[in-house]
Amino acid sequence: MLIHTCCAPCALPIIEYLLNQKQNKDIVLYFYNPNIYPKQECIKRLEQVKKISEIYNLKLIIDEYEHDKWLEYLKKSLLHSLESYPENDKRCLSCFAFRLDKTVEFAKENDFKEFATTLSINRFKDTKFINNYGFKIAKQNNLKYITFDLDPFQAYQKEQELIKKHNLYSQKYCGCEFSMK
């Protein structure tokens, strides 16, 4: 299973869940988050994902940092200036779609049958949109989209506990330049 990994904190409860279910054999973490700004912040978050991939002995694939491509996609998808949208509004939905589309593209090119995203359990995100979109593109591409039977609030508590345990960096803003304030 290819798991699009937005950051280490969000991946932790999912990895633990899969380990408890004894489903850890074929997990591959996929880091593709060109939304994160500046690049230094993206590198910082990636370092944390590398750390957990080592802790849990999971394969990690790192894709390109295409921030300009991400910006262009959002500008084409939206009517108004990107900074005018509040968090969890249309800008974010396009941002989720962009990263999920790329995950599917990678999954298909590399013969994965299933994919998931750590965004799917984030209590701060529109998980209804994320999961509906995941199921939709999975169907279109003959893949299986996986969701996790985790309560977002309990997952968040678990995440906080594991961040402390593994001494991980936990970001203070979602990712893009528009979310920094």
Interface positions with ligand SF4 (CB under 6 A): 35, 87, 91-92, 95, 174-176, 178-179
Q: Work out how close the CB of 125 gets to ligand SF4 at its nearest, in angstroms, rounded to a whole number.
A: 7
Q: Work out how close the CB of 88 gets to ligand SF4 at its nearest, in angstroms, rounded to a whole number.
A: 7
Using the minimum distance from each CB to ligand SF4, give the nearer residue, 24 or 171. 171
Q: Work out how close the CB of 66 gets to ligand SF4 at its nearest, in angstroms, rounded to a whole number.
A: 14
Please provide the DSSP assignment of the chain as one string.
Answer: -EEE-S-HHHHHHHHHHHHHTT--TT-EEEE--TT-SSHHHHHHHHHHHHHHHHHTT-EEEE----HHHHHHHHHHH-SS-GGGSPTTSHHHHHHHHHHHHHHHHHHHHTT-SEEEEGGGG-TTS-HHHHHHHHHHHHHHTT-EE------HHHHHHHHHHHHHHHT----SS-SSGGG--
Q: Work out how close the CB of 154 gets to ligand SF4 at its nearest, in angstroms, rounded to a whole number.
A: 22
Using the minimum distance from each CB to ligand SF4, give the nearer residue, 95 or 137. 95
Using the minimum distance from each CB to ligand SF4, give the nearer residue, 58 or 100. 100
